[in-house]
């Protein structure tokens, strides 16, 4: 029993990532509000960032600068990739929010179900007009 408890504590970063990923996915799937879906996608995205950053950290690792001594280095590649992913994530979020604003201007709502009902009604009106 103690071994299982130590395993859970030793891998707390993975548990945090899984919890955040599950919550983000749940928000995306269960909510009909477009803004809430964007927030859920951001939560999911942050969980992936946390996963890569925690994997890239080496215990007692230093920055990969050659000093001539024998040292353990941390890999900087995951951190660099995540910096790029953060920039892309911010841009994607901005586009998603801009689309939500345009959808609200066009339909008067950002609820997915109401938008689908309005679309069906408009399609039926177009079909009758022809």
Q: How do the domains of the chain map onto residue ranges?
A: 2-58+72-129
pLDDT in tens, 21-58: 999 999 999 989 999 999 999 999 999 999 988 887 77
pLDDT in tens, 79-107: 889 999 999 999 999 999 999 999 999 99
- State pTM to two decimals: 0.81
Q: What residues are paired with 73 via a beta bridge? A: 62
Q: Name the CATH architecture for the domain at 2-58+72-129.
A: Orthogonal Bundle (1.10)
User: Would you say 49 and 126 are in contact if contact means Cβ atoms under 8 Å apart?
Assistant: no
Task: Give the model's pLDDT for residue 113.
Answer: 93
List C-alpha distances in Å: 24 to 40, 70, 104: 4, 42, 23
User: Would you say 21 and 29 are in contact if contact means Cβ atoms under 8 Å apart?
Assistant: no
């Amino acid at each position: 029993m103690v071994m299982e408890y130590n395993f859970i504590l030793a891998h707390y970063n993975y548990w945090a990532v899984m919890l955040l990923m599950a919550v983000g996915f749940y928000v995306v799937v269960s909510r009909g509000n477009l803004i809430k879906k964007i927030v859920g996608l951001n939560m999911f995205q942050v969980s992936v960032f946390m996963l890569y950053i925690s994997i890239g950290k080496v215990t007692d690792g230093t920055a990969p600068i050659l000093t001539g001594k024998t040292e353990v280095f941390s890999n900087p590649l995951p951190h660099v990739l995540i910096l790029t992913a953060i920039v892309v994530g911010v841009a994607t979020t901005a586009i998603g929010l801009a689309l939500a604003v345009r959808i609200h201007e066009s339909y008067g709502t950002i609820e997915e179900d109401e938008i689908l009902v309005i679309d069906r009604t408009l399609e039926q009106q177009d079909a009758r007009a022809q």
